[in-house]
Structure 1
Amino acid sequence: MAVALEDQKFSLQEVLDTFKLCLSENKEVHLEQYVAGWRGLVRFMNSLGSVFSFISKDAVNKIQILVNHLNSETGAHYVTIQSMVRYELDNQLVDLTKRGSFPESGCRTLLRLHRALRWLELFLERLRTSTEDSKTSAMCSEAYNESLSQHHPWIIRKAAGTAFWALPGRAQFFDVMNVGVPDQVVAMLGDAMPLISEVYQVTEDLYAQNNLLELP
């Protein structure tokens, strides 16, 4: 599974379908589908130009680390996020002492994507409920300030704030979704957001239960 798909055209329908497949009946998150969903979200960010490159480039790197785990000889332990957490904790592969060890552990890597997913979730929900004259720069900044900014150093927060002012308008965002007229985009976002939110919350609860939310 090479990560060479980021230049493909974004499809909101594909992201929706992928997140539908993410959760098993007993609410375990399938890592391969999670990664596939993130590939789609990277395409979404890339389709808007270089504005989100400071996040999308890091996401591509994190996706590849998780793909490497999935394709490794221990890949059977990485089928779900739950099995990954159990395996890495049981084998002391997670940096719980904040010494900077195991920088490419699955738990740490996924945590970075998890934090970014919260930002995208908040931003897409604002897009869904926005009006024609709503400013995407304001919506994106608000979502960022409520989520990712808490984990970024000042210099990145400053760069992000500047980048968001260059965002295209709401109409162009809706065009990028490749769904149809605005009402169709809003309806599909209405289907997608609960799925993304549930995947986020299941992951959040799992990490909280295992004291993994502040991994260095």
Structure 2
Amino acid sequence: MADAVVSENQKFSIKEVFDTFQLCVTENKEVKIDQYVAGWRGLVRFLNSLGTVFYFIAKDAASKIQIMVNYRNGENGAQYATIQSMVKYELENDLVDLTEKASFPESGCRTLLRLHRALHWLELFLERLRTSTEDDKTSVMCSESYNESLALFHPYMIRKASGLAFCTLPRRYTFFEVMNVGTPDQVVAMLGEALPLVSEVYQLTQDLYSKHNILDIP
């Protein structure tokens, strides 16, 4: 069993994760949920490979992934083919709780919004890693990225715990090793090509949610 785990780790490359996000976007600039979820599965694996530091984010993302999979596998799965079709279907059928009555606490729109916010944090953090030097502190980069994204939606206790956890982050080189792409220069080049893909997925989702006034689903 141990050999299997090692072999699986050796096969992992974050480049494959970003390639999956590239497949998210259709010619009509819609975002396919199957590929979005697959990309997030890879990101969860990446976060888990760094130890317990990102446990709370990875665990929450994994639970949200499962909810989206359940929708895709459900009787109305075709309505959840893209984020655009999901938003249209759920809003037209009053399946989104906009009033904190908790009528639909696990709607697809609400669930994906949580992944969307976390994706923004990762995008910001990875961009800082890309443009940093080995002497820069990953704890500072991560905290700054968190404060600009997820922290805006987290209560004080989670923000406090997150800040303490980030202080234990490994050095930049360790992150690059876990990505399993190659030399630091190769990682930097790969991130330079890949992050705009993630940014496009994020922005398409952001614009869609903004258009329908659902960026603040409780």
**What TM-score comes out, normalization by structure 2 length?**
0.94
What's 1:181 paired with? 183
The Cα of 1:8 is off from its aligned counterpart by 8.8
Contact 1:7–1:43 (8 Å) recurs in 2? no
Pair 10,50 (structure 1): closer, same or farther in 2 beyond 3 Å:
farther
RMSD over equivalenced CA pairs, Å:
1.3
Q: How does 1:30-109 map to 2 (within 5 A)?
A: 30-109=32-111
Please report how far the alpha carbon of residue 46 of structure 1 lies from its aligned counterpart in structure 2 after TM superposition: 0.3
Specify the code of the residue in structure 1 equivalent to 2:73: N
Length, aligned pairs only: 211
Matches of 1:151 and 1:8, distance apart in 2: 35
Matches within 5 A, 1:171-210: 171-210=173-212
Q: What CA distance in whole angstroms lies between the structure 1 residues aligned with 2:160 and 2:22? A: 35
- CA drift of 1:13 comes to 1.4
| Aligned counterparts of 2:152 and 2:193: Cα–Cα separation in 1 | 28
Matches for 1:151-166 after TM superposition, within 5 Å: 151-166=153-168
Contact kept, 8 Å, 1:10 with 1:47, in 2: the verdict is: no
Q: What per-residue deviation string (whole Å, max 9, x for no partner) do you get for residues 82-138 of structure 1? A: 000000001110002221220110000000000000000000000010111111000
Identity among equivalent pairs (%) = 73
Match of 1:24 among 6, 23, 26: 26
- Give the counterpart letter for 1:69 in structure 2: Y
**Aligned with 1:22: secondary structure?**
coil
TM-score, L = length of structure 1: 0.95
Q: Which secondary structure state, in structure 1, belongs to the residue aligned with residue 210 of structure 2?
A: helix
Cα offset, 1:213, TM superposition: 0.4
Gaps of 5+ in 1: 1-5
Q: Which amino acid aligns with 2:91?
A: L
Contact 1:137 1:166 in 2 (8 A): yes
Does the CA contact (< 8 Å) of 1:65 and 1:104 recur in 2? Answer: yes
